[in-house]
A and B are shown apart, each in its own frame.
Chain A
């Protein structure tokens, strides 16, 4: 079942015929006005066909040449940023930047760890590994050693060494 709009469009295009045409024209409230609209529509259609119809190019080669030039210049413009990006941050460059950053980080980490490595107390302070006095010169001498941690020094302490007169203090 066609709607009134569908029948109207078909009537304007001259596609209704027979009883369908008679029935539709009988349903029109003002047939004269409708006929006028039909004529206007036909005129408009003819005008559009005339204006929008394909035009023949008088200088096709020149047009093709211009078109190719436009396409080429567009291609060049669209390639420029791609080239810049390839010279700027290509995957290869990103790889090298990453590798270099890692290398620098590794070196810094090694340096910091070397500096901050907590040394054990025995490594921090000087250690006396052994000590002895000549028993023939100082038979009663003894040696001992201690770490004065509050002063961060190590002391080798002797007792009983041969005492010497004051002139031995000379420079």
Chain B
């Protein structure tokens, strides 16, 4: 009888732990150059779920990735960066809550810090950041929990 109680308790504990555990999730971070051109190139597959949102919110018809990073988060304390030739987006994860990951973001132009922010990134809601004007286009930062 006692052994049966023990087995039932173990099964329940393991199952409840599995139910409560957060699976590893991947964050895609991208440096995106948005422009209006006569013959826009096809949107990259990483951005295709956001195509309509990007076009509507920023008013451009072409979006090209100039730097990107994909990071799998397990502890929620990871750091990573997405680089282009002149820009870098540095991300420090500072844990996760029920709503998502708390991220510290820094956008650098070479070694100059242009923008600094802290956000709680939800897995259901991407973060879009309007960066500086670059030529006739605009630098955008995109973070998505995949």
Contact = CB atoms under 8 A, between A and B. Distances in A.
Nearest to B50: A153
A13 B9 CA distance: 84
A170 B85 contact: yes
Interface residues on A, range: 35 or more
Interface in B30-86: 33, 50, 52-53, 56-57, 66-67, 84-86
Interface residues on B, range: 35 or more
B57 A151 contact: yes
A151 B87 contact: no
Contacts of A119: 99
Main secondary structure of the interface of B (DSSP, over half): strand
Interface stretch (A16-24, A56-64, A156-164): A156-164
A154 B127 contact: yes
B135 interface: yes
A111 B116 CA distance: 38
Contacts of B19: 107, 110-111, 114
Interface of A: 96, 99-100, 103, 106-107, 110-111, 114, 119, 122-134, 137-138, 143, 147-148, 151-158, 161-171
